[in-house]
Amino acid sequence: MSAEIASSSVLQRCPSCGKQNRLKPGRLETSARCGACGTMIPAIGVPLEVDAGLFDQIVRASEAPVLVDFWAEWCGPCKMAAPEVARAAESLAGRAIVLKVDTERNGALAARYGVRAIPNFVVFQGGQPVSQRAGLMPSHELASWVASFAHPTATAQKRAP
């Protein structure tokens, strides 16, 4: 299941009727109900590429841990990390949110968190950075690291009202 970013919000297509559904930034780790047909839409299991504005909305609103991959297009190790980050996002669906921030387009955001080497990974909990690592990491290590910050209630079984 893929998700799209549009006008500083996250959209996810219903697997049943195909309608795009706008998701609340603080509820991205949970399942949602399609506004058109009522079908449950699974929790997002892909990395979301965000700008500084949407980054702030999601990180501040999320009850689940947020893994942020700071990267750049010209960075070879970042390109090698991309499939690992995608696999980690898939395995963390329902327990965490995975964001990608392009440091070339969002330099001030990268500087805010002291990103000097990329790829650089930061885990946020409660709107605050709680752990940071630089360098290439395999997906299972990323997922395990992020999952260690997850609340037991942040699961894929959570349902939207």
- Report how far residue 69's alpha carbon sits from residue 86's, in angstroms, rounded to the nearest whole number: 10
Enumerate the H helices of 11-106 as residue ranges. Answer: 52-61, 76-92
Quick check: is 34 catalytic? no
Contacts (Cβ under 8 Å, ≥6 apart) of 89: 44, 45, 46, 47, 67, 98
Question: 59 forms bridges with which residues in the sheet?
Answer: none
- Looking at the chain, how many residues does it have? 161
Quick check: is 75 catalytic? yes
Tokens 């549009």 label which residue? 6
Q: Which residue out of 14, 34, 37, 75 is catalytically annotated?
A: 75
Q: Which residue out of 14, 17, 37, 78 is catalytically annotated?
A: 78
Q: How many CB atoms lie within 10 A of CB 141?
A: 13
Residues with catalytic function: 75, 78
